[in-house]
Structure 1
Amino acid sequence: MTSSGAGVAWYDRNAPGLADQYEGADFETVHGWLLPLLDGSTDGPVLDIGAGSGRDAAWFAARGYFVVAVEPAANLRAEARARHPEPSIAWLDDRLPELEAVTARGQTFSLILVSAVWMHVLPVERERAFETLVSLLRPGGLLAVTLRLGEPDAERGMTEVTNEELVALGAAYGLELVHNGVSADALGRPEVAWGEVALRKPA
């Protein structure tokens, strides 16, 4: 989410229904493109930014990862805690571009997942947000981003995003592009597609 909190109130108001919706699509369906990239260099911990219902954090926790799950919408975070009480998930109230609570932990991550979040980061804050992500990524670590393509939903605080923007930021910060693709919406919405960008930090 943005530092201004645009859209957070919408997610809070709709938290139960959104959590049901998110839980209705499994990790492998939504992030199948990412599975081949989870090799031995991605051994944890994992940072899940915009963790929503906790579906993705729980998937990683079930496979032995320790996960720091960031979700700024309090009601959605409460839904996620109730649905996924795994002790290997640490829940934080935090947001881009600064991620102050995450940074204060003094921890770096082998995988950072930014799923369905980037469109909530204001364009003027994106370079700072990207710099923060790079600073939290371990050498050899993977940054995986999904981008909601299509007409932005202003009520939810969305703005336009493109794969090309992420690819350019990755190049500017010396990250290696390892995946750049687009997939259909897992919930079957014809007006929405998802960009997929994965970048690796040099070891």
Structure 2
Amino acid sequence: MIHKAEFVVSNTNPGNCPKPDRAEVAFIGRSNVGKSSLINMLTNRKELAKTSQKPGKTQLINHFKIDDRWFLVDLPGYGFAKVNVKVKLGWEQMISTYLTKRENLCGVFVLIDSRLEPQKIDLEFLLWCGTEGVPTAIVFTKADKQSKNKTQQNIQKFLKKMREIFEETPDYFVTSSETGDGKDELLDFIMGLVNEYENEEMI
């Protein structure tokens, strides 16, 4: 359980991120996938990450310090955001630099809308992460918005596509920001990454 979550800094330059002196996990997903709601649910804070009905609200790398121990990072969404091409390219450069160069990054959670059939943009992003060696896990969001059966069908279709790209399926979690489903499992997994990072740093 998270007891304390505080905003640290927002910026567009990965080089200006806080000193990489503790474990860090990041959340990313297509615009309007429910990223801010998920972060608020995990941290028990209604307004920590700003939610918006307008896709593409997060345009910066947002760092939050959790329990004075590790960083949680809210990254800009990809796809759909109504911005010009130049701005979009700048975002992509910023995200790719952050994901490949941030040395204390021990996990990236890619959010997938569980209501949708597999989306090409999500699969392409996960393929890029795999190619670049970015440590990823999948978080299926909005599981409360339809029947459990439908959610499972969509998840299985997505995982099948993943198996076509990779030899094995990455870790995945099924969540709902409304009901809190998946919260404990996801936090346990994150704390496992944090502990592992801290143990390696001590060696």
- Please indicate the TM-score interval, normalised by the length of the shorter structure: 0.3 to 0.5
- TM-score normalised to structure 1 length: 0.40
Q: Which of structures 1 and 2 has the larger relative contact order (alpha carbons within 8 angstroms, sep 6+)? A: 2
- TM-score normalised to structure 2 length: 0.40
Larger radius of gyration: 2
